[in-house]
């Protein structure tokens, strides 16, 4: 265990030494994403907002889903709070999957810690996350002042950075595993694209998941379920997240981070020959 901790600490220290490269790659990813785009970074807001409007129409107008949507807040707000962290999760990991393959010239020619590639994908997506999350303030104000729902700010908002940090830790571990796996087996990218779409509907992103029974236990094994619930608890409900669920997500995230990073570093000497 001590050897693993030392290996992870060494990897972190090496990435910090190349932090300028990490920042450059992050800025490059942001520029490429919105290059020659009319809306530019406005797409960071439009994507979760448009999905929120679609799901709100489907579940509150097109079909009668009142029994399924047993939520104590406007459904649009419920959906948006789930979609913003989920969009961050899915888009960042989608970038991580292809991060090594897309940078094959750098991987084969220059030495630096290869971790900077998946990390830059997560960092650039975090910029979009912050922008999209800021729209939440406008939604809360709209529903509050329209009289449809009352918002009471609580100190639990201070817990929100910890929830975001745990999600990022989880994403770093998964992102490194995906980047490494896709380098060795190129169909990982296609499999992930299908899996991430299915997983959204098996999480509490746009519909609540059962709290009890076998189905509820199986769905709760997905660490994003307690994390998305933690976002809603801190921002809307004014309470701390469920201790058991959040502790599980935190432990799961750090186990995945340590395992993913160590496997990534161990296999990194083979990256150039596989590209």
CA 52 – CA 132 distance, rounded (Å): 12
CA 269 – CA 272 distance, rounded (Å): 7
User: Nearest 5°: CA angle at 216, between 214 and 218?
Assistant: 70
| Predicted model pTM | 0.89
CA 97 – CA 186 distance, rounded (Å): 9
Mean pLDDT of 41-48: 73
- Would you state the pLDDT for residue 3? 47
CA 189 – CA 35 distance, rounded (Å): 24
Closest C-alpha to 232, from 157, 138, 167 = 157
The answer to whether 68 and 59 are in contact (CB under 8 A) is yes
Closest C-alpha to 241, from 231, 253, 254 = 231
Token pair 């709070």 in the structure block, residue = 81
Q: Which range has the top average pLDDT, 51-65, 244-258, 259-273?
A: 244-258
Mean pLDDT of 6-17: 75
**Mean pLDDT lowest among 70-84, 220-234, 241-255:** 70-84
DSSP 209: P
CA dihedral in degrees (232, 234, 236, 242; nearest 10)?
60
Digit-coded pLDDT (tens) for 74-99: 888 888 999 999 999 999 999 999 99
Phi and psi angles of residue 255, each rounded to the nearest 5 degrees, phi first: -65, -45
């Amino acid at each position: 265990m001590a050897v693993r901790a030392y290996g992870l600490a060494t990897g972190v220290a090496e990435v910090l030494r190349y932090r300028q490269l990490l920042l450059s790659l992050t800025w490059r990813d942001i520029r490429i994403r919105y290059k020659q785009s009319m809306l530019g970074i406005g797409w960071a807001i439009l994507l979760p907002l448009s999905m929120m409007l679609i799901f709100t129409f489907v579940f509150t107008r097109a079909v009668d889903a009142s029994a399924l949507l047993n939520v104590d807040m406007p459904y649009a707000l419920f959906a948006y709070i789930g979609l913003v962290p989920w969009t961050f999760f899915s888009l960042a990991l989608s970038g991580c999957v292809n991060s090594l393959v897309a940078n094959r010239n750098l991987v084969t020619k220059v030495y630096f810690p290869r971790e900077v590639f998946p990390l830059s994908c997560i960092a650039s997506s975090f910029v979009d996350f912050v922008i999209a999350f800021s729209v939440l303030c406008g939604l809360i104000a709209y529903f509050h002042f329209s009289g449809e729902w009352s918002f009471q700010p609580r100190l639990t908002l201070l817990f929100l950075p910890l929830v975001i940090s745990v999600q990022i830790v989880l994403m770093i571990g998964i992102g490194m595993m995906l980047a490494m796996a896709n380098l060795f087996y190129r169909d990982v990218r296609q499999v992930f694209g299908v899996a991430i779409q299915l997983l959204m509907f098996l999480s509490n992103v746009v519909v609540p998941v059962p709290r009890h029974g076998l189905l509820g236990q199986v769905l709760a094994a997905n660490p994003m379920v307690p994390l998305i619930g933690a976002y809603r608890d801190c921002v809307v409900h004014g309470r701390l997240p469920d201790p058991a669920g959040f502790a599980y997500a935190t432990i799961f995230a750090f186990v995945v981070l340590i395992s993913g990073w160590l496997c990534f570093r161990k296999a990194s000497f083979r990256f150039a020959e596989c590209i």
